[in-house]
Amino acid sequence: MTANGKGVPLVQQDAQQLRAFEDRPQRPGNRRMATLAAVYSVDRFVRKPQEIVSALFREECTDLKPTRPRPQHQRLNARLPSTVEGLDDEIIRGSIQSLTWADREVSLRRRPDQLLIRLMDGQRSLWSDADACQENISKSQCMDILDIVHVAGCVWKSAKALYSNSTDQQAFARERNA
């Protein structure tokens, strides 16, 4: 299972309907945060840390590896925050809606002894919402993985703030991602 937030630009008519207490978008274009959740099955593909770092730097790997397995039976769900009528027009976060959907999908296809892998970025609310929506799954039945692509982006920002030379930036990023 994986989930991620994405800023979605709103058409002008929808953007004008933002309530006064709602956060204004940080980026221009009147965006709202949507949450995308995906549930799929994939065979294991074991790699060494150096192989992952090489892939981040788009380097050719000299070892011949078997073809990476492709995800199977993938289903996706994306939600924007929405108002629930009858509950004092309470706004339900899109992450709760998408992760509740993902929990139902997981429960329909997961074997009792099967480990659930949850891959997400470092957004704390996404992890706490996933925990809340998947209360029926014990921590021993679940492995959480922080998406390295999001982490690598933060490392590159740090490298650029600390070093003006691209060679030094790359050395810093390579060392921190290893």
Neighbour-count burial for 8-30, b at 16+ CB within 10 Å, e otherwise:
bebeeeeeeeeeeeeeebeeeeb
- Residues 167 and 108 reside in one and the same domain: no
- Residues 117 and 170 reside in one and the same domain: no
| Closest by CA position to 93, among listed 65, 142, 128 | 128
- Residues 6 and 29 reside in one and the same domain: yes
For residues 48-60, give the mean pLDDT. 78
- Residues 48 and 74 reside in one and the same domain: yes
- Residues 39 and 78 reside in one and the same domain: yes
In the predicted model, is pLDDT for residue 17 greater than 70? Answer: no
- Residues 118 and 140 reside in one and the same domain: yes
- Share above pLDDT 90 across residues of the chain, in percent, rounded to a whole number: 38
pLDDT for the residue numbered 76: 96
User: Domain residues for 137?
Assistant: 2-146
Q: Which residue has the higher pLDDT, 25 or 84?
A: 84
Number of structural domains (the chain) is 2
pLDDT for the residue numbered 21: 40
**Which range, of 12-21, 125-134, 165-174, averages the lowest pLDDT?**
12-21
Tell me how far apart the alpha carbons of residues 154 and 122 are, in angstroms, rounded to a whole number: 11
- Residues 113 and 55 reside in one and the same domain: yes
Q: Which residue has the higher pLDDT, 68 or 99?
A: 99
> For the whole model, what pTM was predicted?
0.74
- Residues 132 and 176 reside in one and the same domain: no
Q: Which tens digit of pLDDT belongs to each residue from 151-177?
A: 888 888 898 999 999 899 888 888 887
pLDDT for the residue numbered 63: 63
In the predicted model, is pLDDT for residue 27 greater than 90? Answer: no
Q: Which residue has the higher pLDDT, 97 or 153?
A: 97
pLDDT for the residue numbered 24: 52
Residue ranges of E strands in the chain: 2-9, 31-41, 72-79, 82-84, 90-92, 116-120, 142-146
Token code pair at residue 6: 């994405």
